[in-house]
Amino acid sequence: MTETPDVSALRTELESAAQGLPYVSEADYPFDFVSYPGTAADLAPERIGAVVGRPGEEAREVTLERFFQHHIENVDPNDPVGVAAAGRYQALRDHLRERMPDVRVFRIGAPQVECYLIGTAGGGLAGLHTTAIET
């Protein structure tokens, strides 16, 4: 998919906001920018798998708040690195919400869970992808 100027700007913003922030689970994975052809109607658990190239797999939806909860709210206040990172995760979450008010979070697969934080942008769908390991 050729990126529109709006999607290119979103890519730059999200990559900058997510730079150096891993999604922490049983293994740490980076956030990657993704974009797909599609519409707001595709932002549904029964349709998103086909959009992201995983047709027939069950997608589970969680809220953006729940997705980032472990990284923002469950931080040891005595861990200065964790506290600093929590602020960056919160800024990333808020930026996603601000730039894509319809952002949705879908989780596909297990125990390797592919996580897609996707909303509408530039006439298609765009956002971030990461992986969580949950055994």
Q: Which fold has domain 5-133?
A: Nuia (3.40.1460)
For residue range 106-132, what is the model confidence (pLDDT) as tens digits?
A: 999 999 999 999 999 989 999 999 999
What's the pLDDT score for residue 2?
Answer: 64
Q: Environment class of residue 86 by beta-carbon count within 10 Å: exposed (0-12), middle (13-18) or buried (19+)?
A: buried
For residue range 21-64, what is the model confidence (pLDDT) as tens digits?
A: 999 999 999 999 999 999 999 999 999 999 999 999 999 999 99
Nearest Cα to 113, choosing from 102, 129, 97?
A: 129
Q: What is the pTM of this model?
A: 0.93
What's the pLDDT score for residue 74?
Answer: 85
Average pLDDT over residues 98-103: 94
Alpha-carbon distance of 2 to 36, in angstroms, equals: 10
pLDDT band at 1 (very low <50, low <70, confident <90, very high): low
The percent of residues in the chain predicted with pLDDT above 70, rounded, is 98
Nearest Cα to 20, choosing from 99, 121, 92, 116?
A: 92
